[in-house]
Amino acid sequence: MSATASLKRLMPSDILALKGKAPVVVLTAYTTPVARLADPACDVLLVGDSVGMVLHGLPSTLGVTMEMMILHGRAVMRGSDRALVVIDMPFGSYEEGPEQAFRNAARIMAESGAGAVKLEGGVHMAETIAFLVARGIPVMAHIGLTPQSVNTLGGYKVQGRGADGDRLNADALAVTEAGAFSVVLEKVPAELAGEISAMIAIPTIGIGAGVDCDGQVLVIDDMLGLFTDFRPKFVKRYAELGRTAAEAVAAYAAEVRSRAFPAPEFSFFDEVKK
């Protein structure tokens, strides 16, 4: 990446400045080729800990390590030069306290070159967020359904229904006051997400939280249809690449078995003998 290109990359302050002006476009990315595809259209590329499930076949995000996040963060940085790259802090890397969080966040940013980190939690993580921001670590917060806490939340359920909305309002205010530059709202009722978006001064990034959020994020593999058997309610399929890929693999296998591939145009010959 050239020095000129790096100057054009969006910063956390640029994302914050979009509040009330333009929707923030966010997609996950875990690899260099996908980052190259998504970078021109996106404001933020999120190197989510969902990489553990999407690329590594883990049953949840809990087994994701610092090394995995840094590795994939580097790959996404190499494939992008415009979007702000945000990297998830994995489970166990920040919950112990602000000092632990700073050590690991600083390592993620220093070793990957990314522009910010994301961590889960509201009121109980406000002190940690403030500690990081005061020391030069931009933070994207994440409230509502927090996958790293799925065992204590009782599963992947919608958060903030009924009286539980007060808890999410408090979480949103806490991360805003702590200095987060944006906050992900995951699986939150659309009405509540709209109220929170109007209430706080930082952009809300919705995933299953309705159209009134200040931006939207999806796992890119979901919206491209790479997994034919996974269809959460909040994901719109913009393509069916999984089905297309499966058909292509089947066609290749059939041609290999019938010796139709490689045809002469895909083969090399001894030109001297000709």
Q: Provide the annotated active-site residues.
A: 186
Q: Which of 106, 233, 125 is nearest to 171 (CA)?
A: 125
Instruction: Extract the tokens encoding 233.
Output: 């309610």
Going by DSSP bridges, is the β-strand pair 24-28/215-218 parallel, antiparallel, or unpaired?
parallel
Task: Map residue 192 onto helix, strand or coil.
Answer: helix
Beta bridge partners of 218: 27
Spatial distance between the Cα atoms of 144 and 159, rounded to a whole number of angstroms = 5
**Does residue 212 have a known ligand-binding role?**
no
Can you list the alpha helix ranges (DSSP code H) found in the chain? 3-7, 12-17, 32-38, 51-54, 66-78, 98-112, 126-134, 150-153, 165-178, 190-199, 220-223, 241-258
**Does residue 118 have a known ligand-binding role?**
yes
Encode 107-122: b = buried (16+ Cβ within 10 Å), e = exposed.
ebbeebbbbbbbbbbb
**Does residue 80 have a known ligand-binding role?**
no
Q: Which residues are annotated as a binding site for 3-methyl-2-oxobutanoate?
A: 49-50, 88, 118
Q: Which residues are annotated as a binding site for Mg(2+)?
A: 49, 88, 120
Q: Which residues are annotated as a binding site?
A: 49-50, 88, 118, 120
